[in-house]
Amino acid sequence: MFDIFRQYPRRTLIVMLAVAAIASIYLAITVRFTMEQNDGHIGALLDDTWIHVRFAEHLSEGQGLAYNEGELTSGATSLLWVLTLAIPFTIFDPGIFSQVDIAIAMSAVGYVLTALAITAFGWWATRRAWIGFAAGLITALTGRYIWMGLTGMEITTFTTLCILSIWSHMQDIRDRRSLGWRTGILLALTTLARPEAYLLTALVGLDAVIFVPLRDETTRQARNQRILGSWRGIIAYSLLAGSYPLANLLIDGYPLPNTFRAKSQLGNETPDLPRAFFWMANVDHGAFFIVLAGIGTLYILWLTWRRKGTSITWALWPSVFILGVLFLGAERYVVNHSRYIAPSIPFNALAAVVGVWAISRLRWTSLMWLRQYLLPIGLVGILAVVTFARGEKNVHQVANDVKQLRRMHVQAGYWFDATTQPDEAIALNDVGAMVHISDRRVIDLEGLVYPEVIEATNDTADYTCEHDLQLARVMLKDPPRFIGVFPWFYPCLTEWPGALQPETIFTIRGPTVLAGGELVIYYPVWENWPMLGSLPPEITLSGARFADSIELAAYNFQVVENGLEVTLWWQAHGQPDEDYHVFVHLVDQRGHLVTLPDTSGALQTLQHDSQPQERGYHYFPTSWWRDGDIIRDTHIIQWDDLSIFTQPGYQINVGLYRFPSGERLVVRDGPLPDQDHVTIPLALNIRRWG
């Protein structure tokens, strides 16, 4: 892999130092500006950084893969990054903000290493130093990538390992091996850095087993020998990369981490192609860059087919990677400055420079100095200037994102620390800084570190009542003291009448990489929760079971200022098939609906029909009920003369019916089965209002 650098040691030193210097200077300028804008502080750009830091701290303390203390979970997307952070945490035992600083420093080193890796690989793959230098230069000047370098995340490490893995694989091909031990180890480390590397492993395997033998016209016997000779690489990869899926399987019963299960939208979303595919490159570099990268990719594929000892992986990987990420979640090309597809940046930079090389090799002029020197220098210069100009705003973005995270998540973490007791739980949809600073047990409403949420919401769509109600059930079983969310994430639950009482709000202004500009901390009012955990005391039990798995478990009457308040407690013994209306009728001794003239003389029936918990446009349809739910459902039969409700012999009929047909559900089990209602004596159960 390093043969060409041994031949030209002085040139290698100059090229590498130049790229490292450019990357380091750009990095230093960005850090200095960020600190100036944040009172001398540097900090995490993403809340996810705090998640990795907390996992690493617990690992360094011997707790294993735990986020909530003492609770193992497979919530770490990047096991390699957590293990890497745990090493200095174990040695130096830093405070929580120093832990974040260490993570940022290490990802910044990864940014420089990526620029150096693509420089060296580009030089080695093309045997031209200027191509490697240009690829490293463009990578270092890409504003989005320097943002990635200051996140404190695994992005730059993963990208560097991708480059090294492909480089090692191409060396294997030149050495007539399918998979050497070095490539196996590098691919395994890349897979442990991010699970998207399974795609890279598959691409390397297809290249080694199918494409290369087909291109080289290798006999079946020779191909089998090469595969059998790869046993060291296969074992190395299996042992290293297979360890984490096995651990996940033992911890949570699934081979992939919770983050994949919680965030993957495979089969549920369709990316906006081709716009999404080219979106990031167009924003970072412009249309001219995309054209050159396309030319370079085609040129690499053409060279690969014509020459032995080369590979299709370095040409196809950025496209395969971007498409894979987009189909796993169509919105990921914009989330967090496109961090999920940022690892394609250096490969696209190299492809664009190879495109310049391809154009320079065309014999469109006899002037060699123009074609082979002036043109490449000019085109690369244009790419570098445009890339820097387009990415300069990211320097300001880094400072802004640090400031916003400190104002919202960090301050909220201090608030939880001051307001809650150490043994109390909190429920959040961003579980990084707030949890690590407060050191409170968390119910993660996104499921990243709390797999019970994934199980509960697996078959529901985000931003729907079905989704929010499943979260309500989870929190009912494990009640938090406070719930801190971005309200638009959970529109149904946050607007449920009386269920959540706003306690405090943390706001930020302007464009943000966070999930929203307003984080609201709510106090849950459990008596107004959509469903209850148990029946309250001082009520009358019923036990009448209707068809479709619905039981009238209990009831209570109370004369209030404007009539009779009838409170019903329904219990679901399964998920009802339909949405039913509830009727509550006041009847006389003969079972006839009581009808009286009102003040205007018009006859009015004393009844109340509605969907369960109906309040204006809000209600709780029976089709949303789940097995075990206890639903508190209040109805008011309005009448000004309250004495009517104390008449002897008056009763209340309660039941359910299909709307609009009026067909009633039959009582299957109760005092009088096979009736279409439950009759409750009124005088024996009434309570006075006030």
424 shares a domain with 302? no
User: How would residue 216 be classed by pLDDT, with cut points 50, 70 and 90?
Assistant: confident
575 shares a domain with 459? no
pLDDT at 214: 80
321 shares a domain with 459? no
Checking DSSP bridges between strand 607-610 and strand 595-597, what pairing results, if any? unpaired
8 shares a domain with 99? yes
- Cα(241)–Cα(198) distance, integer angstroms: 9
Least confident of 244-248, 305-309, 365-369: 365-369
Do the domain assignments include residue 535? Answer: no
Q: What is the mean pLDDT of residues 400-413?
A: 96
560 shares a domain with 455? no
570 shares a domain with 490? no
What tens digit of pLDDT does each residue of 83-119 get?
999 999 999 999 999 999 999 999 999 999 999 999 9
pLDDT at 679: 92
87 shares a domain with 14? yes
pLDDT at 687: 58
Do the domain assignments include residue 523? Answer: yes
pLDDT at 662: 93
Indicate the residue among 483, 499, 528 that finishes a domain.
528
- Residue 668 tokens, joined: 């299957």
25 shares a domain with 48? yes
**67 exposed, middle or buried (CB, 10 Å; 0-12, 13-18, 19+)?**
buried
Do the domain assignments include residue 305? Answer: yes
Which residues have C-beta within 8 Å of that of residue 455, sequence separation ≥ 6?
none
Q: Which helix (H) or strand (E) holds 544?
A: strand 540-546
508 φ/ψ sector (left φ>0, alpha ψ -120 to 50, else beta): beta
pLDDT at 685: 57
pLDDT at 240: 95
**509 exposed, middle or buried (CB, 10 Å; 0-12, 13-18, 19+)?**
exposed
Domain count, the chain: 3
Give the count of alpha carbons within 13 A of 280, CB side only: 28
418 shares a domain with 469? yes
pLDDT at 599: 75
pLDDT at 309: 62
CA 501 to chain centre: 27
Task: Give the pTM.
Answer: 0.90
Do the domain assignments include residue 216? Answer: yes
Which residues have C-beta within 8 Å of that of residue 269, sequence separation ≥ 6?
327, 329, 330, 331
pLDDT at 337: 80
Residue 231 has pLDDT above 90, yes or no: no
Domain that holds residue 32: 3-391
What tens digit of pLDDT does each residue of 199-210 get?
999 999 999 888
pLDDT at 538: 81
CATH number at residue 650: 2.60.40
Indicate the residue among 359, 391, 423 that finishes a domain.
391
345 shares a domain with 254? yes
What DSSP line would sit under 594-615, residue for residue? PEEE-TTS-EEE-EEEESTT-B
Q: What is the mean pLDDT of residues 158-177?
A: 94
pLDDT at 690: 45
Do the domain assignments include residue 182? Answer: yes
What tens digit of pLDDT does each residue of 625-647 get?
999 999 999 999 999 888 888 88
492 shares a domain with 379? no
Q: Which helix (H) or strand (E) holds 670?
A: none
Q: What is the mean pLDDT of residues 5-19?
A: 95
Do the domain assignments include residue 689? Answer: no
Least confident of 97-106, 165-174, 268-277, 477-486: 268-277
Do the domain assignments include residue 396? Answer: no
What rounded mean pLDDT belongs to the chain?
A: 91
Residue 371 has pLDDT above 90, yes or no: no
618 shares a domain with 490? no
- Cα(656)–Cα(664) distance, integer angstroms: 6
Residue 672 has pLDDT above 70, yes or no: no
Do the domain assignments include residue 534? Answer: no
Indicate the residue among 391, 416, 435 that finishes a domain.
391
